Amino acid sequence: MSGARSARDLLRSAAARLAEAGVASPDADAATLLAHVLGTERSRLFLVEEVALSATVEYDALLARRAAREPLQHLTGVAWFRHVELQVGPGVFVPRPETELLAGWAIEQALATGSATGRTPVVVDLCTGSGAVAKAVVDEVPGARVHAVELDPAAHAWAERNLAGTDVELREGDMATAFEELAGAVDVVVCNPPYIPLDAWESVATEARDHDPHLALFSGDDGLDAIRVLERRAALLLRPGGVVGAEHADLQGESAPAVFSGAGRWREVRDHQDLAGRARFLTARLAR
């Protein structure tokens, strides 16, 4: 096959190129991109002996974009989140693996509510972005009434694509005023809000800083503005005894829960770590 190259050699040189560019997971990204070009799965790349010249050229172009720190998911057009596939691209926050823990908590709470009460659980996903959490909940909690809202028009368009064909009710709007008609009727409120302080610009990963919408990243001088809005909105939406969960930055393991404990209307306020042992999301229960 004229111009063909060994898949093993391609992957080796691609991973070195990405590592030199500062990509955090060069081997995995190199394999994901090659599998994408070849229309196969990463787990089946070992079956590929040679890669045709046309595919090598396409692969090289994608590697150049990834080396320039364009998000991997923008290059493949998809992101996996728990058990669902999402379409992603410019204009929407790429869902992170650590947010799967928050989604898992929301799913557990919704299932527990349905089991304990015998009624359909009502879940609201504020700042839904790509629709990742809402889609995971409706996928894993059959029959749940799931509502989602997104403020940014571009992100809302991605959520529309991802939630099409599901039973999620999606709206475009501000979480501060969304779902007034559900006041006092919601069992679980879940939110992955913006939480990066404005002065932390330089600490943000290049992929996020240059490609994720800033509306999904930054939230006031201390990064807690959106969490303060969430506290007030969740208090209005939830039934007495209902629960709220929200992701936050790893340095906000005390300050983010304090927004809830200081409001005087929540109990069981606690923080949760991610798989790396970093503070990652808070949960609280509305006092009866």
Would 252 be classed as within a structural domain?
yes
Same domain assignment for residues 114 and 244: yes
The pLDDT-based confidence of 208 (bands split at 50, 70, 90) is low
Q: What is the pLDDT of residues 111-132, one digit of tens each?
A: 999 999 999 999 999 999 999 9
* Domain final residue, candidates 46, 68, 90: 68
* Domain final residue, candidates 36, 68, 100: 68
Which CATH number goes with the domain that contains 59?
1.10.8
The residues, any chain, with a CB within 8 Å of residue 221's CB and separated by 6 or more, are 197, 198, 199
Q: How far, in Å, CA of 35 to CA of 223, rounded?
A: 38
Would 73 be classed as within a structural domain?
no
Structural domain harbouring 270:
81-286
The end-to-end CA distance of the chain, in Å, is: 72
Which CATH number goes with the domain that contains 129?
3.40.50.150
Would 174 be classed as within a structural domain?
yes
Domain count, the chain: 2
Q: Considering the entire predicted model, what is its pTM?
A: 0.85
Q: How far, in Å, CA of 233 to CA of 286, rounded?
A: 12
202 vs 160, more confident: 160
CA atoms within 13 A on the CB side of 278: 10
pLDDT at 48: 86
Q: How far, in Å, CA of 183 to CA of 113, rounded?
A: 18
Same domain assignment for residues 43 and 96: no
Same domain assignment for residues 214 and 104: yes
Q: What is the pLDDT of residues 17-27, one digit of tens each?
A: 999 999 989 99
Same domain assignment for residues 14 and 85: no
Would 75 be classed as within a structural domain?
no
Q: How far, in Å, CA of 265 to CA of 37, rounded?
A: 53
- Count of beta carbons in the 10 Å neighbourhood of residue 46: 9
Same domain assignment for residues 11 and 128: no
Same domain assignment for residues 117 and 189: yes
Strands (DSSP E) contained in the chain are: 5-6, 50-51, 78-81, 84-87, 122-126, 145-150, 169-172, 186-191, 238-247, 266-273, 279-286
Would 260 be classed as within a structural domain?
yes
For residue 42, pLDDT over 80 is answered with yes
pLDDT at 119: 92
* Domain final residue, candidates 47, 68, 89: 68
Q: What is the pLDDT of residues 157-196, one digit of tens each?
A: 999 999 999 999 999 999 999 999 999 999 999 999 976 6
pLDDT at 24: 87
Same domain assignment for residues 101 and 237: yes
Same domain assignment for residues 131 and 40: no
Would 169 be classed as within a structural domain?
yes
